[in-house]
Structure 1
Amino acid sequence: MGAFVRNGLKWFWVAFANASMEKKLIVVFIFLITLPIVLASYFSYRNYSQSIQDNSTTYVKEVSSKIIDKLDDYVIDLKQVSASPLYLTQLQEYLMQPGHDVIKERFISTNVYSMENLKGANNTSVYIRDKFGNLFYTLKTEGTRADLNEKMEEWGKLAHNAKSALVISTERIIRANTGKPDFVFSVIRELRNTYNLEAIGLIAFESNLNVIKNAVANIDAATKGTTVIVDDHKQVIYDSGEQMIGDNLANDEAVKKAAETQGSFPLVKDGKPYLISYSTSANTGWTVLIYIPTKVLTAEATKTRNITIIVTIIIIGFALFISIIISYALTRPLRKMASLMKAVQGGNLNVGFNVKYRDEIGLLGNHFNRMIMRIKQLIDEVYTGQKRKREAEIKVLQSQINPHFIYNTLETIRMMAEINEDEKVASMAYMLGSLLRYSIINDMETVTVAQELEHLDNYIYLQNVRFKDKFQLVVLLSEEMKQYQILKLMLQPIVENAIYHGLENKEDHSEITIESYEDESFLYLTISDNGEGIDGTALHKLNDRISNPSSQADSKHGIGLSNVNDRIQLYYGDEYGLRVESTEGKGTRIVLRLPNQSS
């Protein structure tokens, strides 16, 4: 089970994570709105339902207690009335006299009528039987009982067994004069001589059940339930349907549970749920059980629940509608940006995000627009760099007029000079051929500093032949530095520029010095001469032309230096390159800034 739940949660999370942002927002909105509403509605309904049930139970308990109190009052009044013969000595004497003469009948009947009008006996038939079985009574019911004589015998036995205590019973009877059935409520007591406690007769009060029926009808109308009243022997005194009067309910489940003085409990009867409230009289031992259908108790709560459900559904529907609108509004810029990114991915850089607001989406849009602008700049820079590289290559090619032809011609001149035993011409031809082979035929892009210096030695040799050993090359580099990889033909154009612009017109000894130094990020190669130097204005123009070849600086000077600078930046990056330092009359120094390969 645990694995199933974990797998289910994992599947839900994966599905949620892979859903679109719009769907995620809708789910989150619905969850955040629906959950509180549903929980609030559920607990409100539950509390309201419980409150109604508690209030109804309390009300029913109070009503049942009032019924018990009313019955207790009625029985107590009858008890007091039934005890009145015990205080009438003359009445006791007549009850002990045999016979049935007129005087006796008139006296006893007078007492019966007086009892009938006492409190508690109102609307009640009164029966008195003397010691010899003579019966005296007055009727306030619909007629005489058909079984009156038999009932008197039964009442006599009940009263005798009760030993002067009250006996209460209910039963269904047939009226002798009408033949109609009726339900009556009887209170019986045996009469005893106050001197010797000898049984001298009995007294009985018989009333129809209207006093109980009316009270029960009122409570049933209020609770929409049914009521059952049982005595202390669990015999039904009265029930709402008048179908169980006289039945014994000792084995009834509800009667068994009504064991306390007062209380309530749920019960399912005939497949229907009820809430049963009960009260038991401390005087008579009678118990009033009120059966209230649960659906009646929860009718208002159910109505409230239904209204709550309808309102909740409306709110959830409205929340869903609003969440869809909000999620659409929030994700629309993201969808637009995704569409623009796809366009950029397809090569279309002429797009831009329309930033309307200064929120996170607007911030993202600004960064997107700046990214597109930067991409365009980089493309332009690459295009410009490639263009500059092609122009430099074209210039090189323009200066290389059929290099193979020149090299082969020089080789022929060298061979003819050797044949004619002109060693100097042969050596010059050899050196010039080496220069051409290194610079033109060798297709390597980078060489070691040592290789570049060897090429430079050949170049200085040819210049010294021309200028009668005027130039001296001084190399102050370590062996480790000589193995450093640099671009081919990086040093020779710089030395050539130094000779033609700084040393050619110098009359005395000319010296070119090559040195190096480094820091954490860069390696610096310096080529210094002791030539004429450059004045400040010309130096500024020269550096400007080197760093910006498209400027209008003097195009007759610095072409070789610009070419070297362009090649360094194209190969290594814009942070590398060349700069010129010079003092007029003292000389010039060219500083090359290259990557530090040891860092």
Structure 2
Amino acid sequence: MKEQGKFNGWPFIGDMSMERKLLLVFLVIVTLPLSIIGIISYKSYSESIEANTVAYSEKLIDQMMDGIDDYIEDMKRISSMPAYVNEIKQNLIASNRYHEQKSGNVGDTGSRTVAPGDFDLLLSIQRGIEGNISFINNIKRGTNSVYIFDAYGNGYYSAKDGGVRLDLDQSYKFWSRQARDSSGEALLFGTQAYTTNLQSTRYAYTVVRKIVDGLWNPIGLIAVEANISNMETQVAELDKVTRGKSLIVDQDGKVVYDSDQKLLTMDISQTMLFRNAQGAAGSFYDTVSGKQRLNIYSSSAKTNWKVIISIPVDELTRDVKLTRNATLLATLIIIVVALFISIILSFALTKPLKQMIQLMKRVQNGELDVNFLVKRRDEIGLLGHQFNRMLARIRELIQDIYRIEEQKKEAELHALQSQINPHFIYNTLESIRMTAEINDDVEAADMISILGKLLRYSTGELTGQTTMKQELLYVRNYVELLNCRYPGRFVLQTDVPEELNDYNIIKLVFQPIIENAAYHGLDDSKEHMHISIRCEFTAHKLLFHIRDDGCGMDQQTLDKLKDDLRRETPHKKSINGGIGMKNVHQRVQLNYGAAYGIELFSKQGEGTDVILALPLPLYRQESISETEGGDLD
């Protein structure tokens, strides 16, 4: 029932022709794997592109940051040079002494004036400091400006492009305030915007350091400034390779540089872009203006600056989409070719099946002389060969049925012919028995009584039915009669459960076998001959073992007897009325089918075992059917 339910769930497939089913199978076999492979390949390729892009971009970022770090390290080295140039320190000390004195004079007089003799001193100090600044500024390529201040904020500078900060006083105060608590190490400040004396706005990042004398007393301040144009080339190269936009921020979230130069000096610490860029390096996705981006970031351990490069996913997967489209096109072409081939194959496979269906219809109409022409040795050829063998077997079975029916009628006729007037025999035997009793011959009377019972049972219709209880009673009477002839020679044991007492069975199935054992298997060397009837239930049959411990038979005699049982010629009833095992075998098969009958086993000197196979009782058959049905469910 479950199988039928499953089939009903797919009626559109179950009702399809075999040609269409094969076509559908071919398409599924070709299309499904190609689709799965394409999806897996596309996904794997996309993930590989992403992983490679992240790894390659991080490598490029690290290389760019290494270049920026080296440049900043050079700026820091430049900022340390005044500590090693005595002329700068001496002039700074002189400048501090001069302004210290002037500060005192201003406090006394209330006015700040420069004496005529001071111009030479100040000019000498300026030339001594700015001359060295020019030398320092020319050491490093790309450095824009170098500023040196004395302890009173008086600045001395050198700018390569001639642009000097207009907010020099405010810048000094900021730098001085930030460097106040330092111990002489270089301080890095991110990008700042300033206006030059050329009335242009510029952006630069600065390295600031205290200048100390030999006793580590602060005597001034140096600021080495670099224009952000130094980063432009490296960032542009990075953007070109990755097809993205770069952003450099300091640890506080202020923009040092961006590709479009629209966010310079802005604070982006509260944006999701900066918040998501946690840790030293990594990557994440975000969406801006409806477009998804892959953001890759890496930090410098020296400056704590972080480079974030944002790559549009469309750009990232552009090559992947080209590959996907090429794969889809190739898949479509393969499907079309597979469809064409599957049509040809399905037609070639179903054509002989259609021919066989036509032959089956002719057989259904009673035409059994048809034959399938086998042209190939494949499964269809094998099926055609088996079809031809099936038809031949059907023809043989029909002939067998005709022959069996004729044999059955002939056996019934012989049975009828063998019957004489049973009432005359019964009455005669009863008269003899009464005479024996009158003459006090009890033994003869008992023998005649037993013989009468046997005759009443055996002279009935041979094809009639009886019960197991009656059949076993007949066997006991027969053995009792044998013991009358051979006193105490035969011992009968029956092991048949009482549940089989009402089991319907044809007459005379046990007695001929026991008669055969008594007259052909009796061993004169043994005092007794034991005969047993034991019942055995199997999965599909009821087996009776009729065993004796007589002389048995040799292999040649056993093979001859087995061959005689296999012959299909009807048994000829003998003159003395003996029925024989072959008669039993044929009557069992005629009544119950070819699966039942007699099977012989014997060994010379040990005895014979005759196995009689009969159908199971109806209640046993129903129990097995219910069990098998439950297993199927």
- For the structure 1 residues 242 and 480, does the alpha-carbon distance in structure 2 shift closer, same or farther, using more than 3 Å as the test? same
Q: Which residue of 1 aligns with 2:194?
A: 173
For 1:88 and 1:245, how far apart are their aligned partners in 2? 36
Larger radius of gyration: 1
For 1:295 and 1:236, how far apart are their aligned partners in 2? 26
Q: Deviation at 1:577?
A: 7.6
Contact 2:148 2:155 in 1 (8 A): yes
For 2:418 and 2:173, how far apart are their aligned partners in 1? 151
Equivalent position SS for 1:124: strand
Q: Is the counterpart of residue 39 in structure 1 residue 36 in structure 2? A: yes
Contact 2:414 2:573 in 1 (8 A): no
Q: Which residue of 2 aligns with 1:69?
A: 66
Which structure 2 residues correspond to residues 473-484 of structure 1 after superposition, within 5 A?
483-484=460-461
Picking from 238, 243, 260, the partner of 2:257 is: 238
For 1:268 and 1:27, how far apart are their aligned partners in 2? 43
Q: Is the counterpart of residue 188 in structure 1 residue 155 in structure 2? A: no
Q: Which residue of 2 aligns with 1:353?
A: 372
Q: Is the counterpart of residue 20 in structure 1 residue 17 in structure 2? A: yes
Contact 2:192 2:205 in 1 (8 A): yes
Q: What's the CA shift string for 1:453-506, capped at 9, x where partnerless?
A: 68xxxxxxxxxxxxxxxxxxxxxx9666765489xxxxxxxxxxxxxxxxxxxx
Contact 1:449 1:485 in 2 (8 A): no
- For the structure 1 residues 260 and 195, does the alpha-carbon distance in structure 2 shift closer, same or farther, using more than 3 Å as the test? same
- For the structure 1 residues 141 and 339, does the alpha-carbon distance in structure 2 shift closer, same or farther, using more than 3 Å as the test? farther
Q: Show structure 2 runs of 5+ residues with no match.
A: 99-117, 407-411, 422-453, 464-507, 513-566, 575-582, 592-596, 598-633
Q: What's the CA shift string for 1:212-233, capped at 9, x where partnerless?
A: 1111111011001111111122
Contact 2:210 2:222 in 1 (8 A): yes
Q: Which residue of 2 aligns with 1:216?
A: 235
For 1:9 and 1:104, how far apart are their aligned partners in 2? 104
For 2:387 and 2:256, how far apart are their aligned partners in 1? 91
Contact 1:188 1:205 in 2 (8 A): yes
Q: Which residue of 1 aligns with 2:177?
A: 157
Which structure 2 residues correspond to residues 5-404 of structure 1 after superposition, within 5 A?
12=9, 15-96=12-93, 97=95, 98=98, 101-118=122-139, 120=140, 122-141=142-161, 143-160=163-180, 162=182, 164=184, 165-177=186-198, 179-195=199-215, 197-198=217-218, 200-347=219-366, 351-369=370-388
TM-score, normalised with respect to structure 1: 0.60
Contact 2:142 2:227 in 1 (8 A): no
Equivalent position SS for 1:107: helix
Counterpart amino acid of residue 147 in structure 2: Y
Q: What's the CA shift string for 1:58-78, capped at 9, x where partnerless?
A: 111111111221111111111
- For the structure 1 residues 349 and 184, does the alpha-carbon distance in structure 2 shift closer, same or farther, using more than 3 Å as the test? same
Q: What's the CA shift string for 1:342-375, capped at 9, x where partnerless?
A: 2333455675422211333223324444555677
Contact 2:143 2:225 in 1 (8 A): no
Picking from 441, 449, 461, the partner of 2:416 is: 449
TM-score, normalised with respect to structure 2: 0.57
- For the structure 1 residues 11 and 316, does the alpha-carbon distance in structure 2 shift closer, same or farther, using more than 3 Å as the test? farther
Contact 1:81 1:115 in 2 (8 A): yes
- For the structure 1 residues 596 and 66, does the alpha-carbon distance in structure 2 shift closer, same or farther, using more than 3 Å as the test? closer
Q: Deviation at 1:171?
A: 2.1
- For the structure 1 residues 148 and 11, does the alpha-carbon distance in structure 2 shift closer, same or farther, using more than 3 Å as the test? farther
Q: What's the CA shift string for 1:62-113, capped at 9, x where partnerless?
A: 1111122111111111111111112233322322323663222221121111
- For the structure 1 residues 366 and 144, does the alpha-carbon distance in structure 2 shift closer, same or farther, using more than 3 Å as the test? same
Q: What's the CA shift string for 1:415-470, capped at 9, x where partnerless?
A: xxxxxxxxxxxxxxxxxxxxxxxxxxxxxx9898379968xxxxxxxxxxxxxxxx
- For the structure 1 residues 74 and 11, does the alpha-carbon distance in structure 2 shift closer, same or farther, using more than 3 Å as the test? farther
For 1:186 and 1:451, how far apart are their aligned partners in 2? 137
**How well do the aligned residues superpose, as a CA RMSD in angstroms?**
4.5
For 2:70 and 2:415, how far apart are their aligned partners in 1? 129
Q: Deviation at 1:54?
A: 2.0
- For the structure 1 residues 149 and 11, does the alpha-carbon distance in structure 2 shift closer, same or farther, using more than 3 Å as the test? farther
The percentage of aligned residue pairs carrying the same residue is 35
Q: What's the CA shift string for 1:506-540, capped at 9, x where partnerless?
A: xxxxxxxxxxxx999x9xxxxxxxxxxxxxxxxxx
- For the structure 1 residues 373 and 285, does the alpha-carbon distance in structure 2 shift closer, same or farther, using more than 3 Å as the test? closer
Counterpart amino acid of residue 381 in structure 2: G
Q: Deviation at 1:580?
A: 14
